[in-house]
Structure 1
Amino acid sequence: MPRLSVIIIAKNESQNIADCIKSAHFADEVVVLDSGSSDNTSSIAKKLGARVFNKPWKGYGQNKNLAMQLAKHEWIFSLDADERITPSLKQEILRTIKQAHLNVYDVPRRSLFVSRFIKYSGWQPDRTKRLFKKGYAKFSEHHVHEHLISKDEVGHLSQPLIHYSYRDFETVLKKINVYSSLGAKDLKKRGKSGSLKKAIFHAIWAFMRTYFLRLGFLDGREGLMLAISVAEGTYYRYIKLIYLK
């Protein structure tokens, strides 16, 4: 039977890490790469049997690539701390690696925004490459919204990964701040410049695209809140870009 490593990068994820690791306990090992947590993320992970490494933060993609290098086994499943592997997905993963004819697979993901699993707003359909053989894929090195890069054909799993992305408004506000800062760095790296005019224009477009073009209004109250938060994040990304040196 092929062996599986689940890799998780984390920082100050004490509220999430236990349930995340428990959902991955079927794997032959769980690797947690902690980037300077000030809470007890590392100690919780160790108590649950994970192999824990403490490394400085270099960005989502770079840290995931490092976690992948630290994994012992042939097959890798990349899991975020706010995600959970469902029992049905667990069984499908085990079946797949046992009889795999491809090296990379994606999974469907269902994401929560405050109190509702979002069905529209550009969040569905959401397929993300997560299961792969070591050496056949690597993560892009974007500061945020990294993705798995592979030249191989991608297979498709059918069972969902659950993403508790925005459990409450505190998380929404925190992620707007964090992601807008990281997004500004990515824009600067691409040679983009910021201005108040650009910030306002892109924010309005982000709202219109999310709420109308991507049918966010069909997600009800949460769809409107999501569209507003996307617009806010876009606005602050371009404002922060003005002040980046």
Structure 2
Amino acid sequence: MTPAIPCTVQLLCRNNAASIGACLDSLGEFAEVIVQDGSSTDGTREIALVHPNVRIIDQNRAYIDASSRITDFASMRNESIAAARHDWLFVVDADEAVTPAQTDEVRSIVQRGIPGVFVASRRFVVDGKVIDRCSGYPAEQIRLFHRSLTHGYVKTVHERLHLKNGVTTQHLQEELLVPLPPASSLPAKHARYLDMEVRRLGVVGMGRWTRWILLRNLRTAAGLLLRIAWIRLTPTRATIMPLRYELPYVAHVLRTIVRTFPPFVAANIRRYGDDAGTKR
């Protein structure tokens, strides 16, 4: 029997009964899977407990709101890093599934015994079809790392791993397949993340807002629209991302400019106090 990979998989979930079974089935070769559950009520926990390598940890209530939504992703992820029984960690979402080829690649890296930090390229899946061309490609994230090389995660939303000085990243060769939820769910998801970002930023100076939000987001939106147009105007047999997924993200980028506009945020704080981040 092949020994388990001495690596802890980190997985956040809440009411993911529809997908978590397939996800955990694909992680059977890993020694430990920490499932941080946010008070699921749809059978997610029961499905997870069927898998012998799973350890469930309740999400810390200090980092969730009254609706059991995470308000501090960095702190939540840092808790599972601290709880992990292995120094190698592999980050997987509850609606993803790791391919056998990627499992073999991770096994090879871990068995090599040289600490590292690895970026995974993500390939989106819509209606069962792998998307070849998308304005958001390359979609890359750090997904495999040795905890001795990091200071943990930072930022409450859109969290990122803070690497120690001198640490560089490498790339996994195998792509991670990411099934996307129905496009109709995207506006609510984007709005929730934007609320969190507004709370995190508070009122910023006009100079900083202009440089780091206005100009950056305008460039991002323009770049996305140009890539969307180029993908559709270039003859191809490749599967392209449907517009129902592309355009909501462009709208989210532009909406961020308005929602973080300093006078707007300041007026909301005067009117709503601590709830300003949720008022639109």
Structure-1-length-normalised TM-score: 0.81
2:45 corresponds to: 42
Q: CA deviation at 1:95?
A: 0.5
SS in 1 for 2:57: strand
* Cα distance in 1 between the residues matched to 2:110 and 2:239: 39
> For 1:94-147, what per-residue CA distance to the aligned partner results, in whole angstroms no more than 9, with x for missing partners?
01111143421122221124454333433222222111112322222232x222
Q: Match for 1:129 among 127, 133, 142?
A: 142
Q: Match for 1:86 among 68, 93, 99?
A: 99
Once the two structures are overlaid, the 10-residue window that deviates more, 122-131 or 107-116, is 107-116
Q: Match for 2:80 among 67, 72, 75?
A: 67
Q: Match for 2:23 among 13, 20, 26?
A: 20
Once the two structures are overlaid, the 10-residue window that deviates more, 205-214 or 108-117, is 205-214
Matched residue type, 1:209: G
Once the two structures are overlaid, the 10-residue window that deviates more, 222-231 or 234-243, is 234-243
Count of residue pairs the alignment pairs up: 236
Once the two structures are overlaid, the 10-residue window that deviates more, 126-135 or 206-215, is 206-215
Counterparts in 2 of 1:212 and 1:119: CA distance versus 1, 3 Å: farther
Q: CA deviation at 1:205?
A: 7.1
Q: CA deviation at 1:240?
A: 6.1
Q: CA deviation at 1:178?
A: 2.3
Once the two structures are overlaid, the 10-residue window that deviates more, 28-37 or 145-154, is 145-154
2:192 corresponds to: 181
Task: Pick the structure with greater CA Rg.
Answer: 2
Q: Match for 2:250 among 205, 215, 231?
A: 231
SS in 2 for 1:158: coil
1:210 corresponds to: 224
Once the two structures are overlaid, the 10-residue window that deviates more, 202-211 or 120-129, is 202-211
CA contact (8 A) 1:89 1:160 kept: yes
Q: Match for 1:51 among 49, 55, 58?
A: 55
SS in 2 for 1:7: strand
CA contact (8 A) 1:105 1:156 kept: yes
Once the two structures are overlaid, the 10-residue window that deviates more, 122-131 or 203-212, is 203-212
1:160 corresponds to: 175
* Cα distance in 2 between the residues matched to 1:177 and 1:235: 15
* Cα distance in 2 between the residues matched to 1:66 and 1:131: 17
Matched residue type, 2:194: G
> For 1:52-107, what per-residue CA distance to the aligned partner results, in whole angstroms no more than 9, with x for missing partners?
11123343222211122121112111111121111000001001111143421122
1:9 corresponds to: 12
* Cα distance in 2 between the residues matched to 1:212 and 1:220: 18
Counterparts in 2 of 1:202 and 1:98: CA distance versus 1, 3 Å: closer
Once the two structures are overlaid, the 10-residue window that deviates more, 149-158 or 118-127, is 118-127
